[in-house]
Structure 1
Amino acid sequence: MKVFVSVDMEGVSGLTDPEEMRAGGRGYERGCELMTADANAAIRAAFDAGADRVVVTDAHGGGRNLRADLIDERCTLVRGPYKPMRMGEGLDSTFDVALYVGYHARAGAERGVLNHTWMGREIQNLYVNGEIAGEIRLMAGYAGSLGVPIGLVTGDEAACAEARDVLGAVPAVAVKRGLDRYAAELIPPARAQERIYETALRSLREERWPQLTMSAPYTLAVEWNATAIAQSCAVIPGVRLTGPRTTELTTDDYADVVGLLGVCATIAGEVGCTGRNYG
């Protein structure tokens, strides 16, 4: 069995403060340790379930958050900025299942801890084939386009609810309950990580994994928070303005959706000058 693990940070056990997600911020180093521990719980479950290969990608920010010296030595780690497929880098059609650890709810989600979509504030709403999408739908769609199902989602209660809305009966572990965007009632990390391990192990052994399948062509629509961002992104071939602050892309290859969104986000971070902050 070949398992792909994508690890974000906002949905990691024990974390609620934006400073804990930002290199140089108060609590960031401890946040990286907690992120790595949540990832290790899923990795350990994968190997205990019989996986012969586990590939892990650092899916948060610049992709330099997972502690390479603390990650389970049996896995392969993909890290670093500007990965072409960003949160999905390393995934291909040869994988049996994907696990999403530390994911969060989409922008505007009620009681979603650190809720946003892809960027801290530049993206107001994202739509894939007309359906409002956060990172869970976006990346589940990418996996589905490769024929890969989803075996686990972990994050806060809002993220788990979003995952069930997108994927149906997907195994999910809520490690915290949001009180507001920056506050939550937490399950202590040691107990949360044990739940991640137990749920992942059960899921990987049972192999009843849902898959998000969408039909091509794929249309990605983005509502940005500024006209300047939309106009700058519309310079990219294939991306067009559909309103003062909205852009749209249609393609037969879902990899274009993920890849060009990453390019647009890089542009948005420069134009908006707020790419490293939540607000």
Structure 2
Amino acid sequence: MKIFVSVDMEGVSGLTDPEEMRAGGRGYERGCELMTGDANAAIRAAFDASAAEVVVADAHGGGRNLRADLIDPRCTLVRGPYKPMRMAEGLDASFDAAVYVGYHARAGTARGVLNHTWMGREIHNVHLNGRIAGEILLMAAYAGTLGVPVALVTGDAAACAEAREVLGDVPAVAVKTGSDRYAAALVPPARAQQMIYEAGRDALSEVANWRTCEVDPPYTLRVEWNATAIAQSCAVIPGVELVGPRTTEFTTDDYTQIVGLLGVCATIAGDVGCTGRHYG
């Protein structure tokens, strides 16, 4: 069995402060350790469920957050910025299942801890084929185009609810429950990581509980940006159409282009519009 683990940071146990997500921010180094702890719980679960290979993608920001010196040595770690498939770098059709650790709810979700979609402040909303989409749908759909089901999602309670909205009765572990965007009732990390391990071991041992996200082509990605300057800059990319003062749209039959375009547009948006706090 071959398992892909994508690890974001906002849904990691113990974290609620935007500073903990940002290199150089207060608590960031400890945040990286907690992120690695949640990842290791999922990795250990995969191997104990008889996985022969586990590939782990650092899916937060620039992809330099998971502690390479603390990660389970049995896995392969994919890290670094500007990965072509960003949060899904390393995933292909050879994998049996995907696991999403530390994921969060889409932008605008009530009580969603650190809720956003792809970027902290530059994006208001994303729609995929007319359906409002967060990172769970975007990444699960990419896995689905490869024929790879999702076996487990971990994050805050709002992220787990979103995962079930997208994937049906998929196994999910809520490690915190938001009272607002930056505040939550936490399951202490040691217990949360044990929960991730136990749920992951059980989920990866029961193929019947895996869920595949199926989105039919052609794929249309609509992004509502927070500024006209970002939308206009992204519309320079061939195939991207400006459909409103700050809204772009792109249609393709190749879902890898959807993921790749999000990465390129995020780079442009960061240069054009990011002048303050990442989640402010």
Q: CA deviation at 1:277?
A: 1.4
Partner AA of 1:42 in structure 2: A
Name 1:64's counterpart in structure 2: 64
Q: CA deviation at 1:276?
A: 6.0
Q: Which runs of 5+ in 1 are unaligned?
A: none
Name 1:161's counterpart in structure 2: 161
CA distance in 2, matches of 1:219, 1:10: 27
Name 2:240's counterpart in structure 1: 239
2:40·2:71 contact (CA, 8 Å) conserved in 1?
yes
Pairing 1:249–2:242 present: no
Q: CA deviation at 1:119?
A: 0.3
Name 1:226's counterpart in structure 2: 227
SS in 1 for 2:193: helix
Name 2:148's counterpart in structure 1: 148
CA distance in 2, matches of 1:130, 1:260: 17
CA distance in 2, matches of 1:44, 1:251: 38
1:38·1:193 contact (CA, 8 Å) conserved in 2?
yes
* Match runs of 1:259-270 below 5 Å: 259-270=260-271
Partner AA of 1:70 in structure 2: L
1:120·1:275 contact (CA, 8 Å) conserved in 2?
no
CA distance in 2, matches of 1:137, 1:171: 15
Name 2:117's counterpart in structure 1: 117
CA distance in 2, matches of 1:276, 1:69: 29
Distance 1:274 1:117, change over 3 A: farther
Name 1:46's counterpart in structure 2: 46
The Cα RMSD (Å) is: 0.7
SS in 2 for 1:136: helix
TM-score normalised by L of structure 2: 0.99
CA distance in 1, matches of 2:156, 2:169: 17
Report Cα offsets for 1:18-50 as digits up to 9, x if no partner.
010001111000000000000000000000000
Q: CA deviation at 1:82?
A: 0.4
CA distance in 2, matches of 1:247, 1:17: 31
Q: CA deviation at 1:273?
A: 2.6
CA distance in 1, matches of 2:190, 2:263: 33
Distance 1:99 1:274, change over 3 A: farther
Partner AA of 1:224 in structure 2: W
TM-score normalised by L of structure 1: 0.99
SS in 2 for 1:173: strand
CA distance in 2, matches of 1:72, 1:181: 31
Name 1:213's counterpart in structure 2: 214
Task: Calculate percent identity across the aligned residue pairs.
Answer: 80
CA distance in 2, matches of 1:165, 1:153: 12
CA distance in 2, matches of 1:81, 1:91: 16
Name 1:129's counterpart in structure 2: 129
2:122·2:274 contact (CA, 8 Å) conserved in 1?
no
Partner AA of 1:84 in structure 2: P
Partner AA of 1:179 in structure 2: S
SS in 2 for 1:16: coil
Partner AA of 2:169 in structure 1: A
CA distance in 1, matches of 2:7, 2:276: 20
Post-superposition, which runs of at least 4 consecutive aligned residues in structure 1 deviate over 3 A?
none
CA distance in 1, matches of 2:236, 2:47: 45
CA distance in 2, matches of 1:90, 1:128: 22
Q: CA deviation at 1:278?
A: 1.0
Distance 1:40 1:173, change over 3 A: same
Distance 1:275 1:63, change over 3 A: farther
